[in-house]
Every structure is written in structure tokens, then in C-alpha cells.
Amino acid sequence: MMRKTELFFPVPVLQTARTRMKEMTLQDAEDMFEYASDEEISRFATWPAHQTIADSQRFLNWIIQRYSRGEIAPWGIYCKQSERLIGTCGFGNWNQQHARAEIGYALSRSCWGHGLMTEVVNEVIRYGFTSMKLVRIEARCYPDNTASIRVLEKCGFQQEGVLRKHIFAKGRYEDVHLFSIINEDLLDGQQA
């Protein structure tokens, strides 16, 4: 079995037509704070909106420590045109024995509605199936997060069901929709 550090140290750089996904640094704190402090972004996240730049710095420090240990951590999503950090995307809950991981993402509201997250998620899926040798990629989202559901469906995910009161976030238990894509789904779609 491949060691996780072989795939994530150094952090691989992924690209789409309009974005570059790479390792984040503390210099990204202002850009992160700009979108992570937006209540509309955090509304569908398990984390609260960042209240100060120090919140963004703490989160970046946590990610940077994971990078330094070769552990799985989100990529920063950078707009190729501006070179600014506009969001994050990455895997969590990676179970190598069962060849599955969960994808999660956040994107600046100024970038919504342009298909950027669909580009990013497709590229991260490709990396997961080819480099990480995943068989299954999962995603969870709140039932009223229609934008995220659209991204997942455009990327080939299928809804498997509702996990009732599955997570405790922001003081209450929440239902989430469970989505998945398996490598055979992607291969079948490419051959069609």
C-alpha cells in the first residue's frame, strides 16, 4: 500500500483551464479571510465564518502543518488570471484499505455561477482515481445547498440517500445528503 506522504509531500500542483490548485501559505490569509468571513459561504459549512484575520491564519497554520507531515490537506484554489486564493478543495477521511475518500470544497462568492468549482472538482476526482487509486469518492452536503448539489451532479456524483442528524455543527444536529462517484462511473462516462 502506498504511503500517504508519497502523494502529498511535496503537495502536488493541479490545474484546470482557469485555476491552479497548490499548497497554501500564510501569505494567503487576507484572501482566505475575504471569502471565509462571508456568512453566505459558511452557511453550508461545518465551520463558522472567520471573524478576524487571525481565524484564517490559524486555519492556514493547521493546513501548513499537515502539508509538512505529508498528510492529506486541502489545496488552495488560485485564479490563474489574478493569482489570488479564491477557495479550497481537497480530500478528507481517506481510507486507503477501502480505497475511498471524501471530497470537500469552498469557493469565494465572487466566483460563484461560472463553473469554476465544477472544473476544480473534476480535476480533484481525476487525481483521486489516478494517483490515489481511489475506487470511491464521497461527498456530503446539506439538503438546501442546491449549488453544491448541482456541482456534484455535473461531476457525475449520484445521490445515495439522506443521513439523518448525521453531523453536529453550529450547535445542532443536521441531516446531510450523501453522494458518491466510483471510478467505474467515470470510466463508463468517458467511453460513452
Q: Is the pTM of this model over 0.75?
A: yes
| Cα 49 off chain centre by | 17
Rounded to whole angstroms, the Cα distance separating 184 from 11 reads 27
pLDDT digits (tens, 9 = 90+) for 122-144: 999 999 999 999 999 999 999 99
Grid coordinates belonging to 190: 468517458
Whether the CB-CB separation of 21 and 80 falls below 8 Å is answered with: no
The per-residue pLDDT for 63 is: 96
Specify the higher pLDDT residue, 133 or 169.
Answer: 133
3-state secondary structure string, the chain? CCCHHHHHCCCCCEECCCEEEECCCHHHHHHHHHHHCCHHHHCCCCCCCCCCHHHHHHHHHHHHHHHHCCCCCCEEEEECCCCCEEEEEEEEEEECCCCEEEEEEEECHHHCCCCHHHHHHHHHHHHHHHCCCCCEEEEEECCCCHHHHHHHHHCCCEEEEEEEEEEEECCEEEEEEEEEEEHHHHHHHHHC
pLDDT digits (tens, 9 = 90+) for 37-96: 999 988 888 889 999 999 999 999 999 999 999 889 999 999 999 999 999 999 989 999
pLDDT digits (tens, 9 = 90+) for 3-33: 556 778 889 999 999 999 999 999 999 999 9
